[in-house]
Structure 1
Amino acid sequence: MTVLALALAAGAALPSVGVPPLPAALILLAACPRRVPPFHRPEPRVRWLPLAGLAGLLHGAVATGSQLDDCRWRLSVGDLEVAGWVREVEGEGRVVLEARAAGCTGEIRLQGGAVAEALAGRGEGSGLRAAGRWVPRAAAEPGVDPLRAGVLLVRYAERTSDAASGLGARLARVRAAGVARVHARFPREAPLVAALLFARRDGLDRDLRDAFADTGTAHLLAISGFHVGVFAGVVIWIAGRVLPVRRAVTLGAVAAWLYVATLGFPDAATRAVLLLTLVSVGRWLGRPVSAAGALGTALIALVLLDPAVASRIGAQLSFAGALGLAGWARPSIRGAVAGWTRWRGELPPARARPLVEGLVVTVVATLATLPLIAWHFERVSLVAVPASLLATPLVAIALPTTLLALVLDALHLPGAAIASTGAEGLLGLLRTGVGLFASLPGAAVPLARPATLAACAGVGVGWAIVRSRSRVGFATRAGVLGSTLVAGLIAWPVSLQVGRNGSLEVHLFDVGQGDAIGIRTPRGRWLVVDAGPPSGARLVSDLRRAGAREVEVLLITHPDADHVGGAAAILTDLSVGAVVGPGTIRGDGPWQEAVRAARDAGVPWRVLAEGDSLRVDGVGLRVLHPPRGDARPLDANAASLMMLLEWRGVEVLLTGDAPVDAEARIVRRIGPIDILKVGHHGSHTSTGPALLDRLAPQVALISVGRGNRYGHPAPEVLARLRERGVEVWRTDESGSVVVDIDAGGHWTVRGSR
C-alpha cells in the first residue's frame, strides 16, 4: 500500500512542478521497476506501480488544468472592489482575503497602509471591504498558485461588522482569538508559544529561528505529527480515566481533527490526524492497524484532496520521518538492546530503557529525513541528535502545560498563572539549550545538492547489492563499500547538473559596505551583479563556495569602488563570458583596473541602457535605467543600472545606488514586485515612498556593512519599509542572504548567520 501510494503521489506531483504530461509519463514508466531484488518475478504490488503512477499523473494534470483556468488569472489591470474575510495576515498591511470580486471568488492578496489601519489590530476571520488598483503579477503557468495572479494595491479599506458565517472564517477567528490570548497570558514567551501551538512564526526573532534550523530542531516550530500526537495523547490520557480505551481514542481523534481544522489543515498535521483516525477505526473493528498501510492510506487521501501535496517540503519531511519510524524503529531498538546486552552481559535496566528507545527513535527519524533536509536547506546539523534529545522532552512537557494555562485562563479558574509560569520556564530552558547547541563550532555544515544526490546514489547501490544476496559476508560488504564509493564518484558529475536544475537562487553576498549579487539560473549558470569593495578575494571565495566556476555575465551597475572593487579579481580568477555596464559615465581607480583586467583576459565589454534585456536559461533581466542616448552628464549614482529580474512570475528589482529621481522614472512602467534590493545600502536618498507605494514589495534586501560610518540603513527608510509591512533582510545582521525561488514561483529567504 505504501509503495503504491508513493507512486501515486509522485505522478500527481509532476504536473504541479511544471513537467509536461508526456515527459512525466516517460519518467514514471522508467522509474517504476519491473521487479525488485531478490525476487525473480514481479510481485503483484510492483506490477501495479506504473498504473498507480499514471493514475496520479492524470489526477495531477486535471487539477493543474483547473488551476490554469482559475478566474483570478483573468482579472485585468484597473480599479477593483473586493469584500470578504481575512484568511491570513502576512505582515503589517499585507493580508490574504477570501473574497468575491468582479464575479470571481477565491483568495486575493491585498497590500497597503489602509489595510493595517482598517484592521486596527484585528486579525484572521475579520470581515473587510477594500478598493484599489488591481495589478496582475504573474502569468498562468503549471504549478503557479493562482494567489500569485496579482495584488490589490489598496487605497481605501474598512472592516465590516458582518462576520463571515462560513466554517473557514469561524475557525480563523478562533485561531486569532487563541493567538491573542497567548500574547496576554505569556508575556515573555508569546512568540514561541504561538509558533508551537498555532504555527505562527512571524513573531519569532530571526536569531532564534536560525538557532532551531542549525540544531536540526526546526520541525518543533512547525505543527507536525509530534504536536498532534502530544495534543491527542493528553486528551486520550484524560478521557481514559473515565472512558473505555476505544472511546478515549475516538475522543482524542475528534479533538485532534478540531485542532487541525483550526490551524487550517497543514500537511504534516493532517497526516497525523488521519493516522490517528485509522487507529481509532481499527480499535472499533477490533483489528490491528499496520503502520505502513495506514501511512499509505493517509498519503492517498491527501493526494486525492490536493495532488500537489507531495511537492511540498512539509509533507515530504512528515512522511519520510513517519516511514522511517514505521520501518526502522522497532528493529533498531531490538538491535540496540541486543548490543547493550552483549556489552554489559545483561538486559538494560528499566530506568535506562526509555533513554535507549528515545535515542534510537531520534537517530532513526533524523536519518530518515536527512536527505530531504540536506536537499532543501543545503546544510546538515551535526548536533541534531543531542539537541533533539534535549528539546523534544521540553516541548512535550511545555505543550500540554501551555494548553492547560490557556484553558484555565479561558474558564477563569485558578492556577492559570502557575501553569503559564511553569510553561515559560520550560520554554526559557528550550531557548537557552537550543542557543547553546547552535553556538557550538560546526553545529551546521553546508552540503551542496550535488553531494546529497551523489551520496544517495551510493547508498542506493549498496542497498540493492545487499538485498540481492541472501547471505552477506566479508566479500559482499567490501563490494558494497567499493560500489558505494564508485557510485558516488560516477554520480557526482550528473548530480552536479541535476542539483542545479529547477530553482533560481539570488545570493546577496556579505561583502561589508558594498554590493555584490550572484544569480544562479535553474540550469546552474551564474550572473553576477556588482563585485563589492576592494579586494575581491572574499567575493571570489564566496562565489566558489556557492558553486560558481564560471560567470556568464558580470554586470556593473556604476563605477563606485564599493560596487566595482572586486571586478578585477573576478575577471582574473574566474572565467567570465562578458562584462556589461552603463555607458553614460566613466570611472577611475577600481573601474580602470576592471577595464584592464577584462582587456587582458579578452572579455568583451558591452553597454546596456533602458530597453535592453538579457535572458539566460529562461531568467530575464530587463534594463529600466539609465535612459538610452541621454547626453546629460550624470553622476555615478544617477547613472546606475536598474534592472528587473523576472522568472516564473516572481519579480526582483535590482537598484544599484539609484536615487529617488531615477526611481520616479521607472515606477510607472512596472507593476508590483515581490522582492526589492534596497537602493544605495538603505541611504535616505533612495527607496522613496512613491516607489514603495507603487511596487509594494513583500521582501526587502539591504547590503550594508556592520557599524558603517554612513549610518546606513537610514532610520527613515527602515520606517517606510516597516509601515508597509515589508520583511527586511540585512547582510549586517544575517550575513549573506539567499533567496531560493522554485519552479512554482514560491520563494524562501535564509541568512548564513
Structure 2
Amino acid sequence: MRERARAVRAREPARAVADRERRWDLRLIAPAAVIWAGTATAVTVPDAVGWALVAAAVAGIAVLVVALVASGSPSPVRTRRRASLLAGAALLLLAGAALGTGRMAHDTQRAGPIGAAIVAGRAVTADLVVSEEPHPLRPDAGTPRDAQLLVRGTITAATAAGARFSASTPVLVVGDDRWRTVRPGQTVRVAGRLAATAPGAREAAFLRASAPPRVLVAPGPGEDLAATIRWQLRERSAARSPDAGQLVPGLVLGDRTPLGEELRTVMRTASLTHLTAVSGTNCTIVLGCVLGLGVLLRLPRWSLVPGALAALAAFVLVVGPDPSVLRAAVMGAVGVVAVISGRGRTPVAMLCTAVGVLLLVDPYLATALGFALSVVATAALVGLCGPIGGAVTALLPAGPAARVPVPVIRLIAAPLAAQLACAPLLLLVQPGVSTWGVVANALVAPLVPVVTVAGSTAVLLGSAWAPLAALPLQVAASGADAIAAVARTAAAAPAATLPWPDGPAGAALLAVASALATGVLLWAARRRARGPRATGPPARSPHPVRPAPARRRVDEALRPPPGRTPRILRPIPSGGRAGARLLVRTAVVTSGLGLVAAGTAAFTTAVPAAGEWQLAVCDVGQGDGLVLRAGEGTAMLVDSGPPGPAMARCLDRLGVRRLAAVVLTHQHDDHYGGLAEAVRGRVPQRVLVSAADATLAPPVAALLGRTATPVDRLQAPAHGSVGAVSWSVLWPLSPRPVGDENDNSVVLRVDIAAAGGPPLRVLLTGDLEEDAAAALLRAPGTSAALRGVDVIKLAHHGARNGGTALLDAVRAPLALVSVGRDNEYGHPAAAVLDHARGIGATVWRTDQRGGATVRRTADRVVATALPP
C-alpha cells in the first residue's frame, strides 16, 4: 500500500506536488494563531479567568479524546471524523499550553512577598540585575516623566517592611542622571517605591528610585565588551557628521539613544522609524553576509549553518539579548530562508513555527506591538511581495525602452507590501498615514545594507585597530546622511501625512482600505496581462500564437535564469482560474493581516466585559465626562463634556441604557454641553448640581424643563447611593458662592462596589482651583474622607491653578486627566503631571490615550483603554 502511494505521488506533476505541500504548510497558520490568542489572553485577563480558560481547554481535550476513542472501527467517513477530532484536540492542546504558559509567566513574576509589595506600593531596597542600557524618557512613553532615565532590569532579592526575600520580577526603574552609568549585566542595589504596571506589560512594576544605584556585581566580560563596542560606535560615528552620529548606531546595533527629537520626528513622518531599531532586516543582512562569504570561499555546506548561527549569536550579544532582539533574530533567519529558497511555502511554515515557539518561550510578546509589526511585515514580504511585484510589472508601459529591471521592481514591491500590511498597526501608535512612506523606503532600501554592512565592518575592524575602521565608517556615515536627507525631504513634501481616524476603529478601517487597494491593484494587473478581450471567434493562423505584450514582459522580466534559484517575485497568472486563485489567496492574506491588526488592537485597547469596569473616563475633548457603573446597563454620569455627540457615543460604547443620576459639578459649557445628546433615550431619574450655583445655565434649565427631571442641590456633608455607587459631598461647604464658578465645583468621594472584589474609591474634583482646594483640606473630616482613595480626577483638566495639594493629600495610584488634544489653554500643566508622577501615580491623559475604563482587582487598580 505504501509503495503504491509513493508511486502515485511520484507520477504527480510538480505543480500538484507544490500545491499540496503549500496547503500543508498553510495549515500551520491555525496553530500559530491559537498560540498567539492563548498567550495574549493569559497575560491580560484576571487570574481566575486565566486559570478557568486553562481548565476549559483541558476539559475540551478530554471530550475530544473520548469522542475519538468512541468513534469505532475505521471507515472513510470515520477516518475523516477522527482526523477532525485529532486536529481539534491538537489545537485545544496548544491553546491549553499557551494559556498555561502565559499564566505561569504572569504569576511567577508576582509570586510571594514581591507581589504584595507591588500591590501595596511599598518602599523596597532591591538587588537589580540591569538588562538594558539607560535611555531618556520620552514625553509620550506613558511612564513618569519628571526623572531623566528609564532602566529595565530584574529584581532578584528585596527587603520590604523589614523582611528579606528573593524574587524574579522584571521592573522599570525610573531614576535621575546618576543612573546614567549603569550597564547591562551589572547587579545594583536600589531603594525606591513600587507601583504596578498596566495589564499585559512585560514588567510587573515601576520602581521609582529614591537614591543612586550602588554596584554590587560588575558585568561579565561579554557584557563589558558589548558596551564598549556600542560606546565606540556612537563616538566614532558622531565625529563624522551629526546625522551619522544619530543614525549609524541605530542602523547597525539598534541603539536609539543618540537619536534626537527632530530627526526622530522626520523619520516617523517618512515611515522610516523601523530603520533605527533592530529588526529582522539587520539579522538577515548579517546572516546573508556570512552565507555569501562562505559560498565565495567554497566552504562545505555543513559549515555554513554553524557559522551563520555563530555570527547571529555574536550580533545578539553585542546588541543585547532583549526580547525584541531575539524576535528580530528569529525573523531575520526566516527572511534568509525566504531569499535562499525563492519559494513562498518554506517561509510560511517557518514563520508560523517561529511565532509559536517565540510566544511559548516569551508569552508577553503576544501583546507587544513590535512583535505584531515584525510578524505582519514578514508575512507581507512572503505572501504579498511577489504578487505585487508582478502586478507592478504588468501595469508598466509596454516596449523595450520602458522595461524596468527586476531589482527596481523589488525596491517598489517590498516597501509597498510592508506599508499596506503594517499601516493599520502603525496607526495605533502614530496619527495619520504616511503618504510618502513607500517612496522613502524604496529610495533608502539600497542604502540600508550599505550602512549596516559598512558599520558592522567598522565595528569589527575598529575592535582590532581603530584606524582600520576609518574607511568603512565613512561609507556608513555617507549612507546615513543620505537616509536623513531622504527622511527630511519626505517629511517636508506636500501632504506628507494623510489624516485618518485613530484608535482601533481607524486601524480596522485602514486594514479594509489596504485590502481593497491590494485587490484592485492585482485585479487591474491581471486584466492588463490578459490583454483586450476578443469580440469574435479567433482567427486561424499558421503562425504560433504569441502572448500579449504585457504578459510577455512579465514572463521575460521574472523568468529565472537557467540553473538559478527561482526568484521570489511571481508573474500575474493570465488564466481565469489561475487569476481567481491568486485573488482568493490575496484576499486570505490581507484578511489575515487585518485580523492580526484587529487582534492586537483588541488586546491592547480592549474594554472589560460588562460587570468588570467600575469607572469610565470618556474622551469628550476639552471637558469632563465620567461614568460610574451602578448596575447592569445603569450608571451615574458626572459631567457630560462640551457640546457634541462624544458623551452619548461613550455611553453607547459602555452599554449604558439608563442614567440613575447625573451630576453637573458646575455650570460651565465644557461640563454640561453634551447633556442633551447624552440623555436622549435615557432620561435621568435625577440631576444633582452644586448648591453654590444660584441659577442653572439656560441650556440646562431648558432641557430639564422639557424632561421634568427633579434637580437636587449638593453641599457637604450630603451623601447618598445609586445602586453600586455610594457618594458623599466634600465641597461646597455652604450654598454661598466662593470665588469664581470653578471654585463652586462639586467635589465627591465615591465608592463603587463590584461583585467579588473590593470597591473602587474615587475622588472627583470638577474644576476646583487652588484656593478652594486649600479651604477644602482645612475643613473638618476631609482628611478622613480622602483616606484610601484609589483614583483621583485631576482638577481643572490638570491646569496649574488646580494646584497639587489634593494630590499630596490623596496620593492615589491612578490620576485621570480629562483634557482635549492641542487645546488653547495649555492644559494639562507639565508641573502638575510631573508632581503626580513624582508621588508614584500613573497618569492617564485622554488627549494622548483616549478614554479608559477603571476597575479594582484584589491587588491593584487597572486602567484599560476605551476605544472610540
Q: Do Structure 1 and Structure 2 share a fold, with TM-score over 0.5?
A: yes
Deviations 1:325-348, CA, capped at 9 Å, x for gaps: 3234334444554555xx515697
SS in 2 for 1:326: helix
Q: Which residue of 2 aligns with 1:61?
A: 99
- Which of 318, 323, 331 matches 2:379? 323
SS in 2 for 1:330: helix
CA distance in 2, matches of 1:42, 1:258: 48
- Which of 668, 672, 694 matches 1:561? 668
Distance apart, 1:300 and its partner CA = 3.2
Is this contact kept in 1: 2:715–2:732, CA < 8 A?
Answer: no
Matching residue's letter, 1:3: I
SS in 2 for 1:669: coil
Distance apart, 1:435 and its partner CA = 1.6
CA distance in 2, matches of 1:152, 1:86: 13
Q: Which residue of 1 aligns with 2:38?
A: 12
**After superposition, where does 1:638-717 map in structure 2 within 5 Å?**
639-641=745-747, 656-658=766-768, 659=770, 661=774, 665=783, 669-670=787-788, 677=794, 680-687=797-804, 691=808, 694=811, 708=825, 717=832
* Residue segments in structure 1 that go unaligned for 5+ positions in a row: none
Q: Which residue of 1 aligns with 2:166?
A: 104
CA distance in 1, matches of 2:866, 2:455: 30
CA distance in 1, matches of 2:201, 2:830: 35
Q: Does 1:290 align with 2:346?
A: yes
Shift in alpha-carbon separation, 1:699–1:379, aligned structure 2, 3 A: same
Q: Which residue of 2 aligns with 1:130?
A: 190
CA distance in 1, matches of 2:271, 2:722: 38
> Is 242-251 or 66-75 further displaced after alignment?
242-251
Matching residue's letter, 1:627: L
- Which of 593, 616, 633 matches 2:699? 593
CA distance in 2, matches of 1:25, 1:613: 47
Percent of aligned positions that are identical: 17
CA distance in 1, matches of 2:799, 2:476: 41
**After superposition, where does 1:477-488 map in structure 2 within 5 Å?**
none
Is this contact kept in 2: 1:609–1:628, CA < 8 A?
Answer: yes
Q: Which residue of 2 aligns with 1:627?
A: 730
Distance apart, 1:280 and its partner CA = 8.4
Shift in alpha-carbon separation, 1:170–1:621, aligned structure 2, 3 A: farther
Is this contact kept in 2: 1:374–1:452, CA < 8 A?
Answer: no
Is this contact kept in 1: 2:790–2:814, CA < 8 A?
Answer: yes
CA distance in 1, matches of 2:181, 2:88: 52
**After superposition, where does 1:280-679 map in structure 2 within 5 Å?**
290-334=346-390, 336-337=392-393, 340=396, 344=398, 349=403, 352-369=405-422, 384-400=437-453, 402-403=455-456, 411-413=465-467, 414-415=470-471, 418-419=474-475, 421-436=477-492, 439-440=495-496, 442=498, 444-446=500-502, 449=505, 452=508, 502-503=606-607, 508-511=619-622, 515-516=623-624, 530-531=639-640, 536-537=642-643, 539-540=644-645, 558-559=665-666, 561=668, 563-564=670-671, 566-568=673-675, 570-571=677-678, 583=690, 585-586=692-693, 588=695, 590=697, 593-601=699-707, 627=730, 630-631=733-734, 636-637=742-743, 639-641=745-747, 656-658=766-768, 659=770, 661=774, 665=783, 669-670=787-788, 677=794
CA distance in 2, matches of 1:312, 1:628: 43
> Is 498-507 or 125-134 further displaced after alignment?
498-507
Shift in alpha-carbon separation, 1:700–1:282, aligned structure 2, 3 A: closer
Shift in alpha-carbon separation, 1:555–1:307, aligned structure 2, 3 A: same
Shift in alpha-carbon separation, 1:316–1:584, aligned structure 2, 3 A: same
The aligned length equals 696
CA distance in 2, matches of 1:472, 1:339: 18
**After superposition, where does 1:111-260 map in structure 2 within 5 Å?**
115-116=175-176, 118-120=178-180, 122=182, 124-134=184-194, 137=196, 144=200, 147-148=203-204, 150-152=205-207, 154-160=209-215, 162-165=217-220, 173=227, 177=231, 181=235, 185=239, 187-188=242-243, 196=251, 217-234=272-289, 244=299, 246=301, 250-260=306-316
- Which of 49, 65, 82 matches 2:126? 82
> Is 676-685 or 298-307 further displaced after alignment?
676-685
Shift in alpha-carbon separation, 1:431–1:373, aligned structure 2, 3 A: closer
Shift in alpha-carbon separation, 1:4–1:445, aligned structure 2, 3 A: closer
Decide which structure has the larger Cα Rg and report it: 2
Deviations 1:507-548, CA, capped at 9 Å, x for gaps: 65543xxx3457799x9999976455xxx44x4369769986
Deviations 1:530-578, CA, capped at 9 Å, x for gaps: 455xxx44x4369769986987669767315264252455457786657
Distance apart, 1:317 and its partner CA = 3.0
SS in 1 for 2:126: strand
Shift in alpha-carbon separation, 1:96–1:294, aligned structure 2, 3 A: closer
Is this contact kept in 1: 2:172–2:207, CA < 8 A?
Answer: yes
Is this contact kept in 2: 1:198–1:223, CA < 8 A?
Answer: yes
Shift in alpha-carbon separation, 1:214–1:93, aligned structure 2, 3 A: closer
Is this contact kept in 2: 1:582–1:608, CA < 8 A?
Answer: no
CA distance in 2, matches of 1:252, 1:348: 40
Distance apart, 1:746 and its partner CA = 9.1
TM-score by length of 1: 0.68
Distance apart, 1:683 and its partner CA = 0.9
Distance apart, 1:302 and its partner CA = 1.3
CA distance in 1, matches of 2:628, 2:798: 22
TM-score by length of 2: 0.61
SS in 2 for 1:344: coil
Distance apart, 1:98 and its partner CA = 1.7
Distance apart, 1:418 and its partner CA = 3.6
Is this contact kept in 2: 1:96–1:110, CA < 8 A?
Answer: yes
Matching residue's letter, 1:597: L
Distance apart, 1:391 and its partner CA = 5.0
- Which of 834, 847, 850 matches 1:738? 850
Shift in alpha-carbon separation, 1:697–1:741, aligned structure 2, 3 A: closer
SS in 1 for 2:176: helix
Matching residue's letter, 2:804: T
CA distance in 1, matches of 2:237, 2:746: 46
Distance apart, 1:127 and its partner CA = 3.8
Q: Which residue of 1 aligns with 2:528?
A: none
Is this contact kept in 2: 1:15–1:61, CA < 8 A?
Answer: yes
Distance apart, 1:110 and its partner CA = 6.3
Q: Which residue of 1 aligns with 2:568?
A: none
Distance apart, 1:706 and its partner CA = 5.2
Shift in alpha-carbon separation, 1:429–1:232, aligned structure 2, 3 A: farther
CA distance in 1, matches of 2:665, 2:233: 48
Shift in alpha-carbon separation, 1:716–1:601, aligned structure 2, 3 A: same
Distance apart, 1:432 and its partner CA = 0.9
Shift in alpha-carbon separation, 1:639–1:111, aligned structure 2, 3 A: farther
Is this contact kept in 1: 2:194–2:206, CA < 8 A?
Answer: yes
CA distance in 1, matches of 2:317, 2:721: 46
Distance apart, 1:436 and its partner CA = 3.2
Matching residue's letter, 2:218: A
Deviations 1:598-635, CA, capped at 9 Å, x for gaps: 4434667676989989999xxx9997x85289559665
Is this contact kept in 1: 2:365–2:371, CA < 8 A?
Answer: yes
CA distance in 1, matches of 2:401, 2:495: 37
Is this contact kept in 1: 2:130–2:184, CA < 8 A?
Answer: yes
Deviations 1:113-138, CA, capped at 9 Å, x for gaps: xx425425545555432334556x47
Matching residue's letter, 1:85: V
Distance apart, 1:702 and its partner CA = 6.0
Q: Which residue of 1 aligns with 2:12?
A: none
Shift in alpha-carbon separation, 1:265–1:9, aligned structure 2, 3 A: farther
* Residue segments in structure 2 that go unaligned for 5+ positions in a row: 1-24, 69-76, 138-147, 159-163, 524-574, 609-615
Matching residue's letter, 2:645: V
Is this contact kept in 2: 1:86–1:127, CA < 8 A?
Answer: yes
